[in-house]
């Protein structure tokens, strides 16, 4: 998470890391998932479906999410409803989306309050009668993330034999399309298995995977 560029978003977003990025650090996916679920059950971590890919899940610490959402609600008419929603935080941690039934009966929100939550960006419409938990103003993050991923993958692709040493890629000069630190993108392309990691005597070699 320390690789997340807070300044790029004027510190308005919580630090976001993608679940698959963790797979680039620890290759036992089952263990990673198990530990993440434990943190979610303890109410420390939130998981979000970011919408650009069915397997793209963002992870944010609950305390960071709460702080950034409340800061964004300063002076807004939706603040009281958002505060009420955030009070449910521990039980929000284990969910990715909410049905209308759950919102009305279990969480006791009215239809107009649900509309306010969508307006404030903590919920986005999933389909008729259900909503994704979401990160307000994260559209820019998603845009830069996808843009950077494409640019970095292109660098690997254009290298000789479509492969490059990880250390060399980390030091490459980037174009304006890459807004995040190179390491952040490398964790992405390795974890999402868009490149293959091959150990060599000179270090880890990243090879483009032709899908």
How does pLDDT run across 151-206, given as a tens digit for each residue?
999 999 999 999 999 999 999 999 899 999 999 999 999 999 999 999 999 999 99
Distance CA 196, CA 48 (A): 26
Q: Could you tell me the residue range of the domain that residue 116 belongs to? A: 6-136
Number of domains in the chain: 2
| Residue 55 banded pLDDT, cuts 50, 70, 90 | confident
Place of tokens 């935080």: 89
Mean pLDDT of the chain: 95
Q: Both 176 and 204 in a single domain? A: yes
* Burial status of residue 158 (CB atoms within 10 A of its CB: 0-12, 13-18, 19 or more): exposed
pLDDT score for 51: 80
Q: How far is CA 119 from the centre of its chain?
A: 20
Q: Both 33 and 100 in a single domain? A: yes
Q: Both 99 and 25 in a single domain? A: yes
Q: Both 127 and 165 in a single domain? A: no
Looking at 136, 157, 177, the residue that finishes a domain is 136
Q: Both 103 and 59 in a single domain? A: yes
Any domain includes 163: yes
Looking at 93, 118, 136, the residue that finishes a domain is 136
**Residue 7 pLDDT > 80:** yes
Any domain includes 113: yes
Question: Two tokens at 56?
Answer: 């793209």
Any domain includes 165: yes
* Burial status of residue 208 (CB atoms within 10 A of its CB: 0-12, 13-18, 19 or more): buried
Distant-in-sequence, close-in-space partners of 10: CB < 8 Å, separation ≥ 6: none
Any domain includes 50: yes
Any domain includes 1: no
pTM of the model: 0.94
Looking at 136, 167, 182, the residue that finishes a domain is 136
Q: Both 94 and 13 in a single domain? A: yes
**Residue 23 pLDDT > 90:** yes
Contacts of 112-119 with C-beta under 8 Å, sequence gap 24+, read 113/81, 113/84, 116/77, 116/78, 116/81, 116/82, 117/78, 117/81, 117/82, 117/85, 119/78
The whole-number average pLDDT for the span 72-97 is 94
């Amino acid at each position: 998470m320390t690789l997340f560029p807070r300044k790029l978003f004027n510190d308005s977003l919580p630090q976001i890391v993608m679940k698959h990025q963790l797979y680039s650090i620890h290759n036992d996916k089952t263990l990673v998932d198990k530990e993440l679920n434990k943190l979610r059950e303890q109410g420390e971590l939130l998981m979000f479906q970011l919408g650009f890919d069915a397997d793209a899940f963002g992870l944010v610490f609950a305390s960071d999410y709460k702080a950034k959402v409340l800061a964004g609600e300063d002076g807004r008419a939706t603040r009281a409803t958002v505060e009420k929603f955030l009070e449910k935080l521990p039980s929000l941690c284990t969910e990715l989306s909410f049905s209308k039934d759950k919102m009305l009966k279990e969480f006791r929100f009215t239809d107009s309050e649900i509309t306010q939550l969508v307006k404030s960006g903590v919920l986005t419409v999933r389909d008729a009668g259900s909503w994704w938990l979401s990160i307000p103003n994260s559209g820019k993050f998603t845009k830069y993330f996808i843009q950077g991923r494409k640019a970095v993958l292109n660098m690997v692709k254009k290298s000789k034999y479509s492969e490059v040493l990880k250390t060399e890629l980390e030091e490459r000069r980037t174009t304006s399309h890459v807004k995040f630190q190179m390491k952040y993108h490398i964790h992405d392309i390795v974890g999402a298995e868009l490149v293959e990691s091959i150990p060599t005597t000179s270090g880890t070699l990243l090879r483009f995977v032709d899908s």
